[in-house]
Structure 1
Amino acid sequence: MAENREDEGEEPRERVERREELVNYLRKLLSCLRDTGRFLKIYWKIVFAIFWALFLLPFLLIYDSSEVRCAYVVLLMGGYWVTDCFPMAITSLIPVVMFPALGILSTADTCACYMNDTIMVFIGGLILAIAIEHSNLHLRIALGVMKTVGCSHARLLGGLCIVTTFVSMWVSNTAATAMMVPIIFAVLRELEQAGVGAVFKSKIVDPERPDIPPEIRPTKITRAYMLAAAYCSTFGGTGTLVGTGTNLTFKGIYESTFPEAEGISFTDWMIASFPQMVVNSFLTWVYVRIAYLGYLRPRSKDAEMATIGSEGEAVTNQVIQERYKNLGPITFHEYGVAALFFMCVFLWIFRKPGFIVGWSELLTDIDLRDSVPVIFASILMFFIPKDPSFIYSYSQDPAKRPRRSSEGLITWKVIETKMPWSLMFLLGGGFAISRGSVASCMAKRVGEALLPLRYLPPIVILALVCFFEGTLTDFTSNVGIANITLPVIAQMCVAMEIHPMYLMIPATLMCSFSFRLPVGTPPNAIVTVSGHIPTNWLIAGGCVPAIYSLIVEVIFFPTWGVFVYGIKDFPDWARYAATGNNTNARC
């Protein structure tokens, strides 16, 4: 009996020990999981970079062909671009190493993609834009237009849309939005001090925790101005070839894929894209008024809040007049930059306009492209002084004689500071992907896989491509999406015997139309942060522009765009690119 009791006493002891061992094991496991979670939180970028490369590696080893090797590089770069695990510029340099190593392109051919006519247009256009910003010419234009249009919310919003769209045609959409935000806040704060409306409203998250600072949220009026600035800067960038990086990406990919085709000219792009830009900006003005300012709803609370009255209009007018007055009289610096800007635009438009003999055709028989005028204007900025004090060098009054030379309209230090050099590598990486995907036949294989779409009407195919691009561009870089998708779309057009421009140009424009997420484009991020706009509000507000921009594109390009470019028939040079050149002869 005693032995039985002892056995019975030992059994629970063993259970306790096993339980303690299990608890200790679970504690160690939880500790290990916490440490692993902490490690991944800190080092997730490099972990993903290694994992993604290893995950794709078996496909490269099993299916050893040029198409798969190129697809490996494209998918590797796509994963890095989407997650931003490396700076985009560094990811864009991967083809310099991997294309020659995998036998896709030679080093010379790959490196040539990183410096060509399109990238020189990009560099020159940015120098011109930086000079406009450096001279404050863009601010004078903005305040001048807003001073002219009037001071009700509807008119001010209209002026904002016009100015932002126009400025964004020539400078980056980031700079256009960043320029308008302080002007918007200056006007709205003066109205708030006058008792007309409010800029922000506070909301206490938890009444039981008064120590937590309240959430700051914009009023509907502030949201209307912020979103209008972001949307119109995006639309404005599509109006000219230099307005945004995606346009130049298309130019480089198109001209390298179809070398026998006539290049993309500044004039044709502007004539074809300007109408859809104007319509989209006008629809933005109407949309934000309906959604946030009570337009067509005169008895609504939104309409009541948006009515500022004569006192409010006087305050607004005073603010804009004062800010314009603070700029002082127009300077020689602004005159000089404006003159070079209009000279460059004139040379772009009349380089080879088609309806008359262009100046480039009179000058030489050599192929002269859009990089020549903009680089010429950029060089002249270092010749022309910012301050023309040299004219007083022989003045009889010693006080007027200059004591030191004036700097040029722009300086290299300013360019060095404000030039987004990384975007140059991003464009080059995209051109390398395009050239490699054609040389390896990857783009052709993917395009042929989409051949069943050829039985659909062309306009339906156009709508599907635009919808796909407009959805995808909300999640990552616009230029990155263009780099990956445009080569495939080009080969898909060749396989279906559709003119490549018919799908490539609308797809390029849709790459810019990102409205629903802050990561989609910098203007979204700027207004989200400065305007304290939650992401869910941005998503809700951006759905409507995403819809009407798609509809406008599907209507305008098959009509006006096709007429401007004359692209009704499948061209012989595209058929030659598909079957006759040395690259595709291997496919």
Structure 2
Amino acid sequence: MLIILAIEHSLVHRRIAIKILLLFGCSHYRLSFVLFLSTMVLSMWCTNSIACGLMMPLVKSILKELEQMGILDVFEVEGVLHNYNRKDKNSPRPTDFTIFYFLGIAYSSTIGGMSTIIGSETNRIFKNYCELIFPQSPAIEGPQLMLLTLPGVLIMEMFLYLWLNFYFLGMLRVQNYTALQTTLTGDEEQYITILLKTKYQQLGKIKFHEGVVGAIVILTALFQLIISSTYDRKHYYTFNVLNSSTPSLISVLILFIMPVNLDCLKFFKSKENSEPTPTSPSNGCLTWSLVTDNMEWSVLFVIGSSNIIFEAMRESKMTDEFEKFLLLFTNLPVPVMALAIVVFCKFMTEFGSNASVIYCLLIHIARVSVKTKVNPLYLMICATLSTSLPFHLITGTPSNAMVAAYVNIPPRKMMIAGIGPSIVAILTNLFTVCVWSKAIWPDIGNFPDWTHTAHFNEF
């Protein structure tokens, strides 16, 4: 979230936004496809919160440019965009265009992250639990897991694009007023292209401030990818290793230290410099006043509180009741049991951070698998994929909370918009586990011998 503030302060996102509009035009169908797909691919190689956070200021800048050209309104109250204060209790309500784009990148970051071990915290916990509970089980490799999840990810992303365009922009609904707003004539497109080229030329060369922030953002994503893919999973819950948040913390410290320009160097060139020596420090790429005025502290409390609640449920043994509930389905066919776990975990992850939910539930699902003589990978994958996909409430993932606070999305809009993706997620996960997984692990339908050495007492 601090990196987001630094990006907005440097205005590097405005330069990128205008370039994207020049390349892909102002069609909402093309823009949304590019932004959603880019977010999905980015979240495959870094955490979904980082991927969504990097796209948020870019989307905001694109919408501001479109509003200045009269193509859309960012908020329902006209002319409040530049005076928008996120700390104001009477913040303007976003239009369907704004909600469409921001929910799209939030959902895309969640969907893309589940396809790799690097991109999803739930996949990392699943891999770690398999290694600790069943030490003789076959290793869960990254390429193998990606082959398992990628078809479902592409299906869900394609449906997400169609669903959000249908629900918010009226795709396939000719009489819809919003759908009529998304179309531009040839003369309008030509005029907008000339206007965007003029704006881009007015920005001039890339400034030192923009270059520093852009370089730090790129390095943050790269180092997070390297650390997430190399550190020892067996020490996942200890503090003696680096984790994926380390690059972000280091980058934030650098942003506080780095100045917005290098004007101070000219005082070292010549002693005959007639300019007075500065008496105050130059501004940094990130300042504490910028943080206190614009930081959405509510997001931290929402996500933190949900983590604490599920941790308390685990410590108080309340999660044992979930295990008893799942045992009610033991006499049913295995696909029906898989459906029960998918729906149950999908429901639970809406009320808590997906990593916290899977951290609490996966051990119990592994026990249920052993008691019912079902391959543990079969049911554990059901839970892992389902907890990766919260679409209704802000407590499910930091991405939902961040976009909701960023543009003041009403909870009702998010709950209704998540209905379509949730239904497709349940059906896709069932197909992935019950059908496609047999192509990746041919023996996943058999109860393996390595379950006899399960280590449940450590949990």
Same fold (TM over 0.5): yes
Residue matched to 1:201: 76
Distance 2:438 2:5 in 1: 34
Establish whether residue 299 from structure 1 lines up as the match of residue 160 from structure 2: no
Offset at residue 464 of structure 1 (A) = 1.5
Establish whether residue 189 from structure 1 lines up as the match of residue 67 from structure 2: yes
Offset at residue 469 of structure 1 (A) = 1.4
Task: Kindly report which structure 2 residues correspond to 1:349-428, keeping only aligned pairs within 5 A, or say none.
Answer: none
Residue matched to 2:124: 248
Q: Deviations over 1:283-332 (max 9, x none)?
A: 11111111121211223323212213345545765559956995956969
Establish whether residue 456 from structure 1 lines up as the match of residue 332 from structure 2: yes
Counterpart residue type for residue 274 of structure 1: L
Q: Is the 8 A contact 1:252 1:431 kept in 2?
A: no
Helix, strand or coil at the partner of 2:434: helix
Q: Is the 8 A contact 1:230 1:523 kept in 2?
A: yes
Distance 1:268 1:324 in 2: 47
Distance 2:9 2:143 in 1: 27
Offset at residue 198 of structure 1 (A) = 2.3
Q: Is the 8 A contact 1:167 1:176 kept in 2?
A: no
Q: Deviations over 1:201-235 (max 9, x none)?
A: 249xxxxxxxxx99843332222212212211221
Structure 1 pair 140–521 and aligned structure 2 pair: CA distance change class (3 A)? farther
Q: Is the 8 A contact 2:137 2:450 kept in 1?
A: yes
Residue matched to 2:386: 510
Helix, strand or coil at the partner of 2:76: strand
Q: Is the 8 A contact 1:249 1:483 kept in 2?
A: yes
Q: Is the 8 A contact 2:306 2:351 kept in 1?
A: no
Structure 1 pair 503–191 and aligned structure 2 pair: CA distance change class (3 A)? farther
Distance 1:576 1:341 in 2: 39
Offset at residue 158 of structure 1 (A) = 0.6
Q: 1:218 aligns with which of 73, 88, 94?
A: 94
Residue matched to 2:404: 528
Instruction: Calculate the aligned-residue CA RMSD, in Å.
Output: 5.4
Q: Is the 8 A contact 1:197 1:308 kept in 2?
A: no
Residue matched to 1:160: 35
Q: 2:447 aligns with which of 570, 578, 581?
A: 570
Establish whether residue 151 from structure 1 lines up as the match of residue 26 from structure 2: yes
Q: Deviations over 1:379-414 (max 9, x none)?
A: x999xxx9xxxxxxxxxxxxxxxxxxxxxxxxxxxx
Q: Is the 8 A contact 2:114 2:149 kept in 1?
A: yes
Offset at residue 517 of structure 1 (A) = 2.0
Q: Is the 8 A contact 2:18 2:200 kept in 1?
A: yes
Distance 2:73 2:9 in 1: 32
Q: Is the 8 A contact 1:245 1:479 kept in 2?
A: yes
Q: Deviations over 1:553-583 (max 9, x none)?
A: 11223333343345522222223217xx877
Offset at residue 506 of structure 1 (A) = 2.9
Task: Kindly report which structure 2 residues correspond to 1:5-24, keeping only aligned pairs within 5 A, or say none.
Answer: none
Q: Deviations over 1:41-93 (max 9, x none)?
A: xxxxxxxxxxxxxxxxxxxxxxxxxxxxxxxxxxxxxxxxxxxxxxxxxxxxx
Establish whether residue 178 from structure 1 lines up as the match of residue 65 from structure 2: no
Q: 2:108 aligns with which of 232, 254, 268?
A: 232
Structure number with bigger Rg: 1
Distance 2:181 2:125 in 1: 44
How many matched pairs? 421
Gaps of 5+ in 1: 1-125, 204-212, 352-359, 361-366, 387-416
Q: 2:425 aligns with which of 531, 535, 549?
A: 549
Ranked by relative contact order (alpha carbons within 8 Å, sequence separation 6 or more), the top structure is 2
Which one has a larger percent helix, Structure 1 or Structure 2?
1
Distance 1:200 1:340 in 2: 32
Distance 1:376 1:228 in 2: 27
Distance 1:475 1:345 in 2: 28
Establish whether residue 257 from structure 1 lines up as the match of residue 133 from structure 2: yes
Helix, strand or coil at the partner of 1:291: helix
In terms of mean alpha carbon deviation, does 131-140 or 567-576 score higher?
Answer: 131-140
Distance 2:67 2:135 in 1: 54
Q: Is the 8 A contact 1:168 1:176 kept in 2?
A: no
Establish whether residue 275 from structure 1 lines up as the match of residue 151 from structure 2: yes
Taking structure 1 as the reference length, the TM-score comes to 0.54
Q: Is the 8 A contact 1:502 1:567 kept in 2?
A: no
Counterpart residue type for residue 157 of structure 1: S
Q: Deviations over 1:463-491 (max 9, x none)?
A: 22111111222223222222221111111
Q: Deviations over 1:104-158 (max 9, x none)?
A: xxxxxxxxxxxxxxxxxxxxxx9x9999999999998887666544331100111
Distance 2:155 2:218 in 1: 27
Offset at residue 534 of structure 1 (A) = 2.1
Q: Is the 8 A contact 2:310 2:352 kept in 1?
A: no
Distance 1:535 1:136 in 2: 29
Offset at residue 161 of structure 1 (A) = 0.5
In terms of mean alpha carbon deviation, does 178-187 or 140-149 score higher?
Answer: 140-149
Distance 2:25 2:224 in 1: 32
Q: Is the 8 A contact 2:64 2:74 kept in 1?
A: no
Q: Deviations over 1:507-556 (max 9, x none)?
A: 22222322222333333333333333322222222211111111121122
Q: Is the 8 A contact 2:329 2:337 kept in 1?
A: yes
Structure 1 pair 294–521 and aligned structure 2 pair: CA distance change class (3 A)? same
Counterpart residue type for residue 184 of structure 2: I
Task: Kindly report which structure 2 residues correspond to 1:66-105, keeping only aligned pairs within 5 A, or say none.
Answer: none
Gaps of 5+ in 2: 79-88, 259-294
Helix, strand or coil at the partner of 1:187: helix
Counterpart residue type for residue 200 of structure 1: F
Distance 1:139 1:168 in 2: 22
Taking structure 2 as the reference length, the TM-score comes to 0.67
Residue matched to 2:274: none
Offset at residue 165 of structure 1 (A) = 1.5
Helix, strand or coil at the partner of 2:417: helix
Q: Is the 8 A contact 1:132 1:138 kept in 2?
A: yes
Using the aligned pairs only, state the percent identity: 26
Q: Is the 8 A contact 1:447 1:493 kept in 2?
A: no
Structure 1 pair 344–197 and aligned structure 2 pair: CA distance change class (3 A)? closer
Distance 2:90 2:305 in 1: 43
